[in-house]
Copies of this chain bind each other. A is one copy, B any other.
């Protein structure tokens, strides 16, 4: 099932089932979500965010997260994760037995008021309390900060503010901090600077990056993050995510393209590109449109040519 023997040097967390499907008009059935989960798991994805425990009236796409988590059950080699926003979400997460949670707030006050209906400071205070509760319940938690690299409403976010928010998150006992470029406004140098500062200030904490590809810089920012020491990245199979009304412009970094970035530099991801392309193919077929990821087309094209060199192992550094 997991074709590569080399232990992966980094963790790609696939969020297509959550950050991807939550913005699709088409609501995937439980069976379809399970099928996609299995394709990604069988390709070797080690952590999969499968849904969000949020109100089904607000995000109907995520309404069956409880049932999905129960049906998936305990996995040997894949961590099943979900997103929560509040006490009700934590209750549901505990009820259905999910083992890992993603819990985040925005660094932008305007974005926080729009997205979480709370000022940023208030959202941070209630989220740190909730993270404490989740950790006490024995759950593994990843804390996150949104709009770290800029906000379309507020412009640049100060590094000091990010460090102060990280400090409050770290005080809960959480061991992983996710820094999100929610608006796709980061540059490679901004990534390097912020990651270096957060690492220096909190050396025991694992940093992960959540990068949107709005301006085409997702993979460049991922490379800059890797070189700065980051070993965990969020991705979405096929490049799903963001706003479906801006065609091809705002999704997450496609998992298959991230796999190619790293494997082409000799860095093991533990993910089999050919197997993952089946998940991309399934999504493009189901959503009936070409999706932003590049590697499935490269892969199909190279197979048509019978060119065995055109795989994820091609062209090492």
Contact = CB atoms under 8 A, between A and B. Distances in A.
A294 interface: yes
Given A150-B315, A317-B189, A257 B156 contact: no
Interface stretch (A6-14, A39-47, A115-123, A219-227): A219-227
A302 interface: yes
Interface string A153-165: 1011000000000
Contact of A297 (B249, B257, B294): B249
A307 interface: yes
A307 B220 contact: no
A315 B149 contact: yes
B152 A260 contact: no
A262 to B, nearest CB: 9
Nearest to A150: B315
Contacts of A153: 307
A214 B293 CA distance: 10
Contact of A220 (B220, B254, B266, B309): B220
A248 interface: yes
Given A215-B257, A246-B301, A301-B246, A315 B220 contact: no
A130 B215 CA distance: 41
- Interface SS, A side: loop
A317 B261 contact: no
Interface stretch (A49-57, A58-66, A90-98, A180-188): A180-188
A249 B302 CA distance: 13
A188 B257 CA distance: 13
Nearest to A224: B223
Contacts of A248: 248, 290, 292
A156 B302 CA distance: 15
Nearest to A191: B317
B155 A309 contact: yes
Given A152-B310, A249-B297, A315 B261 contact: no
A156 B315 CA distance: 6
A154 B316 CA distance: 14
A217 interface: yes
Contact of A294 (B189, B216, B293, B315): B216
B216 A257 contact: yes
A129 interface: no
A137 interface: no
B152 A294 contact: no
Contacts of A135: none
B294 A215 contact: yes
A130 B95 CA distance: 75
A314 B155 contact: yes
A261 B247 CA distance: 20
Interface of A: 149-150, 152-153, 155-156, 185-190, 193, 213-217, 219-220, 222-224, 246-249, 254, 257, 260-261, 264-266, 290, 292-295, 297-298, 301-302, 305, 307, 309-310, 314-317
